[in-house]
């Protein structure tokens, strides 16, 4: 061996050198006395060619896709007009099948993946993840998650890890997962927001990337029971500061993600029309959205024209976003349809300093707001929402021990990816999706 074992993405590896590679058989074909194997190792692909006696051997002839192999040989340039990953191939002089696969596992190929029924494919997620589209989305996810950490460093947010087992709700009782905690009732967290707020005085601006849980009792293409929540909380800011920060974070994350040529190529393949969003994002007040929906004859959930105070349901929201076809900051939602903790607008007390960021193809990917910073107002909000303030004493104390104007947001990582990678559903944007009716594999 000229050099060490080579990972298959080693595009720079010198042609002519003798190397050893390990991986699984991604593709396999016999042609004119040769065996062509595309080997995959999670870093890339390499075309390996067996010829002569090697190609005639029993193991070569009976090889099945997904078998695990070791191959040794000489790296060569592919001939003019031929195609191979990274424009190179390995002319093998030795190979060994380390572990055989049974074959017949068509579900794991991309071709069948497109045709297979969704539930079977999800039952076989541990195998379908090996397919090119599924794994490409996971590569982008890895890059995006890392980029968020990098960007939060740039904007001087510190990372914290709030608890997942809690005794307070954030986004309404209807979607709480409840469980018995040593004889007391507890919940899986819906959002780390309240905890992030409590550390502002000690740590300054903070963020976390943690799991959030929602017992969503409907099946949609953008709701999971367990999802990855990117949340940040900023101290001594105005509502406008919050929007500018959010634009900056999202755009920087995309820039950093795209600066890796391999990831940029994947995104281009998954989402050929992708364009970097233009800043500033469009700003649209909730009341303007209601007018827009009326003008465009998009009805509310009762099939009536939208009116002030209506929830803008998923279908209407997505139609609006698709027609406008650019990121939208939808702001100033009415108090009644938003969470208890949201700060009211100084000029118009009917509405909150709240924002949803809407993206074409998905709709809402971010929800955020300024937080109620006044003690009495917060107590009144608990009462209005029928929330017992007792378990919230630690949250309320924030308003007693030196309150501040502050705000933050939560971004659904799977929704962000569904938009960036143009995936029909968030279920394809996480390893093993959880939603009503599925908790396996």
Using CB under 6 A as the criterion, which residues of the chain lie in contact with ligand 4AD when the complex forms? 170-171, 190-191, 193, 214, 216, 223-224, 227, 229, 231, 364-368, 408-412, 414-415, 426
Distance CA 93, CA 280 (A): 58
Residue 214 touches which of Mg ion, ligand 4AD, none (Cβ within 5-8 Å per kind): ligand 4AD
Distance CA 71, CA 97 (A): 9
What is the closest distance, in whole angstroms, from the C-beta atom of residue 273 to Mg ion in the complex? 26
What is the closest distance, in whole angstroms, from the C-beta atom of residue 216 to ligand 4AD in the complex? 5
Residues facing residue 285 across a β-bridge: 331
Residue 224 touches which of Mg ion, ligand 4AD, none (Cβ within 5-8 Å per kind): ligand 4AD
Burial 19-43 (b: 16+ CB within 10 A, else e): bbbbbbbbebeeeeeebbbbbbbee
What is the closest distance, in whole angstroms, from the C-beta atom of residue 75 to ligand 4AD in the complex? 44
Distance CA 256, CA 93 (A): 41
C-alpha distance from residue 391 to each of 167, 196, 405 (Å)? 7, 17, 23
221 or 252: CB nearest ligand 4AD = 221
Residues facing residue 50 across a β-bridge: 35
54 or 366: CB nearest Mg ion = 366
Residue 193 touches which of ligand 4AD, Mg ion, none (Cβ within 5-8 Å per kind): ligand 4AD
Q: Please say whether the beta carbons of 211 and 228 come within 8 A.
A: yes
Residue 170 touches which of Mg ion, ligand 4AD, none (Cβ within 5-8 Å per kind): ligand 4AD
Residue 311 touches which of Mg ion, ligand 4AD, none (Cβ within 5-8 Å per kind): none
157 or 170: CB nearest ligand 4AD = 170
125 or 222: CB nearest ligand 4AD = 222
What is the closest distance, in whole angstroms, from the C-beta atom of residue 234 to ligand 4AD in the complex? 11
73 or 412: CB nearest ligand 4AD = 412
What is the closest distance, in whole angstroms, from the C-beta atom of residue 199 to ligand 4AD in the complex? 13
What is the closest distance, in whole angstroms, from the C-beta atom of residue 356 to ligand 4AD in the complex? 7
168 or 193: CB nearest ligand 4AD = 193
């Amino acid at each position: 061996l000229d050099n060490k074992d080579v990972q298959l993405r080693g595009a720079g590896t010198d042609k002519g050198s003798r190397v050893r590679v390990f991986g699984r058989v991604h593709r396999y074909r016999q042609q004119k006395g040769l065996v062509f194997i595309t080997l995959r190792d999670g870093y890339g692909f390499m075309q390996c060619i067996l010829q002569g006696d090697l190609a005639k051997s029993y193991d070569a002839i009976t090889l099945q896709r997904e078998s695990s192999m070791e191959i040794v040989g000489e790296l060569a340039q592919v001939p003019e007009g031929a195609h191979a990953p990274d424009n190179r191939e390995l002319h093998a002089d030795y190979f060994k099948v380390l572990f055989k696969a049974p074959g017949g596992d068509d579900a794991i190929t991309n071709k069948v993946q497109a045709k297979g029924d969704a539930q079977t494919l999800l039952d076989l997620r541990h195998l379908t993840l090996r397919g090119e589209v599924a794994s490409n989305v996971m590569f982008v996810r890895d890059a995006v998650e890392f980029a968020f950490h990098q960007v939060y460093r740039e904007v001087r947010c510190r990372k914290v890890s709030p608890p997942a087992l809690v005794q307070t709700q954030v986004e309404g009782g209807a979607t709480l997962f409840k469980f018995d905690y040593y004889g007391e009732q507890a919940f899986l967290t819906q959002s780390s927001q309240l905890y992030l707020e409590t550390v502002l005085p000690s740590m300054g601006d903070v963020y976390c990337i943690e799991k959030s849980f929602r017992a969503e009792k409907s099946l949609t293409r953008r709701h999971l029971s367990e999802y990855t929540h990117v949340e940040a909380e900023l101290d001594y800011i105005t509502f406008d500061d919050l929007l500018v920060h959010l634009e900056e974070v999202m755009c920087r994350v995309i820039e950093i993600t795209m600066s890796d040529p391999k990831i940029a190529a994947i995104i281009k393949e998954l989402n050929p029309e992708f364009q970097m969003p233009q800043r500033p994002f469009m700003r649209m007040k909730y009341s303007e959205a209601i007018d827009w929906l009326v003008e465009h004859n998009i009805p509310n959930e009762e099939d009536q024209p939208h009116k002030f105070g209506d929830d803008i349901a998923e279908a209407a929201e997505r139609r609006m976003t698709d027609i406008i076809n650019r990121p939208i900051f939808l702001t100033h939602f009415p108090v009644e349809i938003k969470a208890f903790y949201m700060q009211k607008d100084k000029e118009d007390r009917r509405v909150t300093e709240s924002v949803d960021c809407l993206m074409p193809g998905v709709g809402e990917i971010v929800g955020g707001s300024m937080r109620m910073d006044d003690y009495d107002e917060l107590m009144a909000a608990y009462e209005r929402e029928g929330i017992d303030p007792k378990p919230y004493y630690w949250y309320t104390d924030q308003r007693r021990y030196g309150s501040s104007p502050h705000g933050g947001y939560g971004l659904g990582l799977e929704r962000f990816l569904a938009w960036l990678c143009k995936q029909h559903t968030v279920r394809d944007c996480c390893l093993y999706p959880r939603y009503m009716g599925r908790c396996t594999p």
